[in-house]
Amino acid sequence: MDFQLNCPIPISEYPVITMAHGSGGVLSHQLIDKMFRPAFSNEQLDAGHDGAVLASGSGEMAFTTDSFVVKPIFFPGGNIGDLAVNGTVNDLACCGATPEYLSVGMILEEGLPMEDLWKIVLSMKEAAGKAGVSIVTGDTKVVDHGSGDQIFINTSGLGRVREGVRIDPSSCRPGDVIILSGYIGDHGVAIMSAREGLEFETGIESDSAPLNGLVDAILDASTGISVLRDPTRGGVATTLNEISRSSGVGMVLDEKAIPVRKEVQGACEILGLDPLYIANEGKLLVIVPESEAGRVLEAMQNHSMGTHAAIIGKLTGDHPSVVRMTTSIGSGRIIDMLTGEQLPRIC
Amino acid sequence: MKFVDEFRDIELVRNLSAKIHEITTKEWTIMEICGGQTHCIMRYNLEEFLPEKIRLVHGPGCPVCVTPLEIIDKAVRIAQREDVIFTSFGDMLRVPGSEKDLMSVKAGGGDVRILYSPLDAIKIAEDNPDKKVVFFAIGFETTAPANAMAVKEASRRGLKNFSILSSHVLVPPAMEVILSSEQNRIEGFLAAGHVCTVMGYEEYIPIAGKYRIPIVVTGFEPVDILKGICHVVMQLEEGRYEVENAYGRVVSREGNLAARKLLKDVYDVTDMKWRGIGNIPLSGFRLASKYGEFNAEQIFDVGDIVQQESPLCIAGEVLQGLKKPGDCSAFGRECKPEHPLGAPMVSSEGACSAYYRFKKTEGMET
């Protein structure tokens, strides 16, 4: 994507972020008035208050926050900006809520190229537009060169919980079915392929994307959903372990049913990693009673974000709080939580 | 995926399993040498496909596990220096030294970087002429050629700011230590396929004869490992003790001659300390004196570091196949992947870590 064709960088006199851009003075205002406000423009933000004043309605709200410190900040398939929007949108969607408003806090390191910031802002604008959320308030700080790592972004989000929806892992029951929305490991492998010291050529792009449309389609198809989770850090294995432990129900996965792109599998084979533990940024795990699984799967497969959705396992009463997997050769083993970081093996 | 799926084929696995059941009449104890094989055995729970009479024990072939404590401490001291960029394969970062690991050095501000190839360290050295770049060159015969290549390349380019902290170990002497122990119960070996890719398998022929033990060169996928076990059992049942190659798609009798020539040029064979096992004569490589300028132990002041192991950890016995991880009183209690006491709990190839992840025993805290 080349934003600069349509959107020339609005601040040309400063090629990089300086401490003065965080001073609260003229340059801070220039950053806000020329860059952030025009890009994210909406009624609440344009009002220019210290905070956004939002209309309240009846029903329940969901509220979440997430900070983004990804390195490198630009990677195949996205950058820290769209990731920061999608991450919070997805957390809201997984509460069964329709994401509505986001706040954006940016911590910029002195020396960050203005052009990079502009690319990030434009991709946030685009991601917010796709997800249908408004960025209604924000904050910017600048830290000395060496005190940050180019840019950190925090986003918080508010969403309205759909009426009648109750996402609650404690309602998981043995026999329920686990559905995964598509290929796993794309984001983590895309990031690794761009990281210093591990650079390798791959066509894999991050799957960073908003899930709220897919969640809407699922909730339209069934009112019996007990779990919606996006398996980000720690991957599918870690997320399923969390659900299994909090619900007290065991799980059995079918290795052959788990969608993994062959490029991702190849990279994992070479690096000695397991795709089950690799981060995703646009995938969804759904747990649903078996009687509604067919309908939900079909709804997911009919949505552009769930074309490759598959049933990957089910819940069991046999081994409470433990996740097991039937391997591709028919044997069984435990799938444990990730300890520390996954580190590439020696040989 | 090609070259992988066909060796994880459920029909082939079932056929090999049936064959092993058919030929096994007595109890046999077989050791897989390499940590990569241990990992596969655990990951696919291959014991499910074996008769109860076959007992697998896990060998010393995890490079992370056998790297001696004092080398880790030397790495930590070097990596803490402000003038150093310390580079390493990923899984060495969490191996506990006597006080800390490299991950904590990184957290404390040390410039510690994970690399996939030692040649990347050469590039870092060229890009950072004001820093001393050290590569943590550990491993068996498998990783030794790439590390030797890095030294050779640094020499060719005339780099003055590159060195390696080397701790290379060799498989055959470790096998002999295990076989000559009075407590030895190993009756057959799955030799490490990738070590043999480099070295070939001629050097195992005298060992098989001397100790009257079958040695089968074996790969790393479920079908490979079951095939290796099948060959070992067949020899045991027939009373044969030969070296066989069940990994012919990769391994030749003489190995990789270019790599062997490189090893001969860059390294000398030397006595080596193995973590958990102790000193084994002529069981490692050290940089040949003509490459002394690339030897981090000569450049940095680390000669005073001598260390002993944690008394709780039975890694030595696990690495020699005398005990299983579950026999350790610390396993899953004081010793877990998030705070390992001994190295086999660190690497995913380590027997303890593999057991912890895939097999969890009763009574373990979770």
A304 SS3 class: helix
Q: In 3D, which of B192, B244, B142 has the Cα closest to residue B34?
A: B192
Query: Comparing A12-161 with A169-334, is the CATH topology the same?
Result: no
B288 lies in the same domain as B336: no
Residue B139: list chain A partners with CB under 8 A.
346-347
How remote is the C-alpha of A123 from its chain's centroid?
Answer: 14
Quick check: B358 and A198 CB within 8 A? no
Contact with chain A for residue B91, Cβ under 8 A: yes
How many other β-carbons are positioned within 10 Å of the β-carbon of residue A145? Answer: 14
How remote is the C-alpha of B193 from its chain's centroid?
Answer: 12
How many other β-carbons are positioned within 10 Å of the β-carbon of residue A197? Answer: 18
Does residue B136 belong to any structural domain of this protein? yes
B272 lies in the same domain as B349: no
Q: In 3D, which of B105, B108, B109 has the Cα closest to residue B92?
A: B105
B93 lies in the same domain as B220: yes
Over residues B49-106, the pLDDT tens digits come to 999 999 999 888 888 888 888 999 999 999 999 999 999 998 889 888 888 899 999 9
Q: In 3D, which of B80, B106, B81, B102 has the Cα closest to residue B93?
A: B102
B334 lies in the same domain as B295: no
B213 lies in the same domain as B251: yes
Measured over the CA atoms of residue A86, residue A91, residue A95 and residue A100, the dihedral's sign is: negative
Q: In 3D, which of A295, A272, A301, A280 has the Cα closest to residue A237?
A: A280
What confidence category does residue A5 fall into, taking pLDDT thresholds of 50, 70 and 90? Answer: very low
* DSSP label of B15: H
Does residue B365 belong to any structural domain of this protein? no
Topology of domain A12-161 in CATH is 60s Ribosomal Protein L30; Chain: A; (3.30.1330)
Four-CA torsion B346, B350, B351, B357, nearest 10 degrees: 60
Domain that holds residue B207: 1-300
Nearest CA in chain A to B1: A262
B348 lies in the same domain as B233: no
Over residues B304-334, the pLDDT tens digits come to 888 777 778 888 888 778 888 989 999 988 8
Q: In 3D, which of A196, A336, A172 has the Cα closest to residue A253?
A: A336
Most confident of A194-198, B14-18, B114-118: B14-18
Angstrom distances, CA of residue A38 to CA of A30, A133, A298: 11, 16, 40
pLDDT above 90 as % of chain A: 80
Question: If phi over 0 gives left and psi between -120 and 50 gives alpha, with beta otherwise, what is residue B212?
Answer: left
B169 lies in the same domain as B140: yes
Q: Supply the DSSP string of B20-48, one letter for each residue.
A: HHHH--S-EEEEEEEHHHHHHHHHTTGGG
Quick check: B8 and A340 CB within 8 A? no
B286 lies in the same domain as B319: no
Q: Is ipTM > 0.90 here? A: no
A22 SS3 class: helix
Residue A334: list chain B partners with CB under 8 A.
357-360
Q: What is the pLDDT of residue A340?
A: 63
Q: What is the pLDDT of residue A341?
A: 65
Nearest CA in chain B to A269: B4
- List the CATH code of the domain at A169-334: 3.90.650.10
Quick check: B359 and A330 CB within 8 A? no
The answer to whether the CB of B201 falls within 8 A of the CB of B253 is yes
Instruction: Decide if pLDDT at B361 tops 60.
Output: no
B329 lies in the same domain as B235: no
Split into its structural domains, chain B has a count of: 2
Interface contacts A/B by beta carbons within 8 Å: 96
What confidence category does residue A346 fall into, taking pLDDT thresholds of 50, 70 and 90? Answer: low
Angstrom distances, CA of residue B345 to CA of A269, B36, B55, B190: 21, 14, 21, 22
**Boundaries of every domain in chain A:** 12-161, 169-334
The helix (H) or strand (E) run that includes residue A123 is: helix A114-131
Average pLDDT over residues A60-81: 95
A115 SS3 class: helix
Whole-prediction pTM: 0.87
Q: In 3D, which of B224, B223, B241 has the Cα closest to residue B232?
A: B241
B336 lies in the same domain as B211: no
B349 lies in the same domain as B249: no
Does residue B305 belong to any structural domain of this protein? no
Quick check: A198 and B13 CB within 8 A? no
How far is Cα B92 from Cα B111, in angstroms, rounded to an integer? 15
Does residue B364 belong to any structural domain of this protein? no
The helix (H) or strand (E) run that includes residue B271 is: strand B267-274
The answer to whether the CB of B271 falls within 8 A of the CB of B281 is yes
How far is Cα A198 from Cα B213, in angstroms, rounded to an integer? 41
Over residues B220-270, the pLDDT tens digits come to 999 999 999 999 999 999 999 999 999 999 999 999 999 999 999 999 999
Instruction: Decide if pLDDT at A231 tops 90.
Output: yes
Does residue B101 belong to any structural domain of this protein? yes
What residues of chain B, 244 to 303, have a C-beta less than 8 Å from chain A?
none
B329 to chain A, closest Cα gap in Å: 21
Least confident of A7-11, A30-34, A209-213, A292-296: A7-11
CATH number for the domain harbouring residue B179: 3.40.50.11740
A347 to chain B, closest Cα gap in Å: 7
pLDDT above 90 as % of chain B: 70
Contact with chain A for residue B55, Cβ under 8 A: no
Measured over the CA atoms of residue A56, residue A60, residue A65 and residue A66, the dihedral's sign is: negative
Terminal CA-to-CA distance of chain A, rounded, Å?
Answer: 37
Residue B64: list chain A partners with CB under 8 A.
346
How remote is the C-alpha of B89 from its chain's centroid?
Answer: 13
Output Rg (C-alpha) for chain B, integer angstroms.
21
Does residue B310 belong to any structural domain of this protein? no
B335 lies in the same domain as B295: no
Buried b (16+ CB within 10 A) or exposed e, A96-118: bbbbbbbbbbbbbbbbbebebbb
Does residue B59 belong to any structural domain of this protein? yes
